[in-house]
Amino acid sequence: MRVHEALHWAFSFLRERQLEEPVAEMLLRHYLQMDRARFLASFHEELDGELFQRLEEDLAAHASGVPVQHLIGVESFYGRQFQVDQHVLIPRPETEELVLAVLKEIRRQFKKEEEITILDIGTGSGAIAVTLALEEERTNVTAVDISRDALQVAADNARRLGANVQLIHGDLGEPFLKTGERFDVIVSNPPYIPTVEKDTLAVHVRDHEPALALFGGVDGLDVYRRLMSQLPALTKEEKGMVALEIGAGQGMDVEKLMQTAYPKAAVDVLYDLNGKDRIVLAYWNETSY
**In degrees rounded to 5, what are phi and psi of residue 272?**
-85, -175
**In degrees rounded to 5, what are phi and psi of residue 60?**
-65, -40
Round to whole Å and give the CA distance between 31 and 192.
Answer: 35
Please name the residue ranges forming H helices in the chain: 3-16, 22-32, 36-41, 49-63, 68-72, 93-109, 127-135, 148-161, 174-179, 203-206, 211-214, 222-234, 251-261
**In degrees rounded to 5, what are phi and psi of residue 117?**
-95, 130
Of the candidates 106, 114, 145, 115, the residue with the CA atom closest to the CA atom of residue 127:
145
Q: Where is the binding site for S-adenosyl-L-methionine, in residues?
A: 122-126, 145, 189
Angle (CA) 138-189-109 rounded to 5° is: 35
Round to whole Å and give the CA distance between 117 and 44.
Answer: 52
Beta strand pairing call for 266-271 and 277-284 = antiparallel
Q: Where is the binding site, in residues?
A: 122-126, 145, 189-192
- Containing 83, the helix (H) or strand (E) segment is strand 80-83
